[in-house]
Amino acid sequence: MPLATRRAARIAPPLVTPPLVAAPLVALPLVVMALLAAPATPRAAEPAPIEVTIKDHRFEPAEITVPAGQAVRLHVRNLDASAEEFDSPSLKVEKVIAAHGAAVVHLRPLKPGRYAFTGEYHEETAHGTVIAQ
């Protein structure tokens, strides 16, 4: 490469921000806002949340039956003095539930089947299964 070109490249103002660069910064939040504004499934049609408790690092009930093809919510209360993480790759949920806290876990509409979940911080004892039917 000719020396002149090389020098030109080196002294080109390095900190000038091309205007195009701003586009993704504007576009990404816009996409997110659009998603947030998109109508969620009508809340009224959703059944009341299913109550689940965590005590002594165990889920109660450990088997949760839900209707297939329908979004449901779990209301998980943690009665222990330590935090727990409701974790399930197959349900696509990972949610921390604070010590003596509670959380709502949204389950997307599920195909019939069994979906395992664990309490990630106490995997020896905290197991459960969601059964969609």
Partner 1 sequence: MLAALVIVFREVIEAGLIVGIVLAATRGVPGRGRMVALGVAGGIAGAGLLAAFAGRLGAAFAGAGQELFQAGVLIAAVAMLAWHTIWMASHGRAIARELRALGAAVSSGRSKLAMLGVVVGIAVLREGSEVVLFLYGIAATGGSSAPGIVLGGTLGVLAGAAVAGLVYRGLLAIPAGRLLAVTGWLITLLAAGMASQAVAFLQQGGFAELLVEPVWDTSWLLADGSIVGRLAHTLVGYTDQPDGLQLLVYAATVATITLLARAVRAAAAPSSAPSSGPDSAARAARGRGAA
Q: Does position 33 bind partner 1 by CB under 8 A? A: no
Q: Does position 68 bind partner 1 by CB under 8 A? A: no
Nearer to partner 1, 62 or 98 (CB): 98
Q: Does position 31 bind partner 1 by CB under 8 A? A: yes
Nearer to partner 1, 77 or 131 (CB): 77
The closest of 54, 44, 51, 70 to 118, measured between CA atoms, is: 54
Task: Report the distance separating Cα 73 and Cα 75, nearest Å.
Answer: 6
Shortest distance (Å) from residue 119 CB to partner 1: 10
Ranges within 74-133 binding partner 1 (CB under 8 A): 80-85, 89-90, 92-106, 108-109, 120-121, 123-124
Q: For residue 131, give both structure tokens.
A: 């059964």
DSSP, residue by residue, 78-116? E-SSS-EEEEETTTTEEEEE-TT-EEEEEEPP--SEEEE
- Tell me the residue type at 72: V
* H or E element at residue 87: strand 84-88
* H or E element at residue 29: helix 22-37
Which residues are near partner 1 by CB under 8 A? Answer: 1, 6, 9-10, 12, 14-15, 17-18, 20-21, 23-25, 27-29, 31-32, 35-36, 38, 40-41, 71, 73, 80-85, 89-90, 92-106, 108-109, 120-121, 123-124
